[in-house]
Copies of this chain bind each other. A is one copy, B any other.
């Protein structure tokens, strides 16, 4: 069908868009789809949720590791998780894409497929394309609250149970495995081809438990956010926004740490260090981009059963001095997570 050697500068904008549009399925929320000055989207309860995130080549992804398909999935998921963290389900998204002229058209169409697949049944309703020296993908996702109040970061109250849905540390493990060369990103097929290492996949194509967001809202979650910058750092945000302290129980994270130990050993063997006993724990506590959901629930909700796949990992207590995050009642001795302008 497509000549895989065709590059963006071989087509004009209309021709390029003509290859992208058919890959972007419509959805039930779409009144007017792509192709006009703007799209029109349904907002059934008279409000919509909106969030935006940007991915920059060589900052957030490497083109020798990530295919366009991977980047499309990741760009979608990090935004979809933000919408889910408000308790909403996604209805539609728009995309701005900056690409070098010598980028393969297949990379761009792969990105469109990845976006569309990760977002369905939400529809891609619009976008903009520009030339530039590096790939930049900016995605804006819209969601519907189905008449419920949004679940804010600020609602955690002493006595609430802290719960998490999704994986912790697998994306960071994947990144470290790739960085030290213990794992290869892929077999080179344009859409990712054969099976990826599960942690490499978690890093290149994160999966967020999106349905857990609206389920948490329906169950009465008092606060929620998407864990994108590491458990401790994001838990700190809930603590400060609510003026409370979150006390995480290390034992509840035991299975996550144990599952990552073989990967931690693999990194130690590959890098030739003597074995870092805390590497797996650090992945779980400070590793970002798994895009799980961290929420707080009233104790009576937890007692009768948290919505799947949430599981308790701690409790909310009164902030003694400043709101903070504790690990088994003590200040954790781990770097908290990711900052975008300081390496």
Contacts and interface: CB of A to CB of B under 8 A. Distances in A.
A94 interface: yes
B132 A136 contact: yes
A321 to B, nearest CB: 20
A145 interface: yes
18 contacts: A9-B342, A31-B150, A32-B150, A32-B152, A37-B226, A38-B141, A41-B50, A50-B92, A50-B126, A52-B126, A52-B127, A53-B96, A53-B128, A54-B138, A55-B130, A130-B340, A133-B134, A136-B136
Interface of A: 8-9, 11-13, 16, 31-32, 35-56, 59-60, 81-83, 85-86, 88, 92, 94-98, 101, 125-134, 136, 138, 140-143, 145, 150, 152-154, 224-226, 339-342
The 6 closest A-B pairs by CB, nearest first: A43-B43, A38-B51, A138-B138, A96-B138, A54-B96, A37-B85
A51 B37 contact: yes
A40 B138 contact: no
A128 B8 CA distance: 27
A50 B94 contact: yes
Nearest to A57: B132
Nearest to A14: B339
A216 to B, nearest CB: 12
Contact of A101 (B82, B83, B341): B341
Contact of A129 (B48, B97, B340): B340
A225 B82 contact: no
A86 B40 contact: yes
Contact of A340 (B47, B94, B131, B134): B131
A13 B339 contact: yes
Given A51-B126, A52-B94, A133-B133, 16 more contacts: A32-B86, A32-B150, A37-B81, A37-B225, A38-B86, A39-B50, A40-B50, A44-B46, A46-B46, A48-B142, A52-B96, A96-B138, A130-B340, A132-B136, A133-B134, A140-B140
A339 B130 CA distance: 10
A343 B154 CA distance: 50
Nearest to A15: B341
Contacts of A45: 46
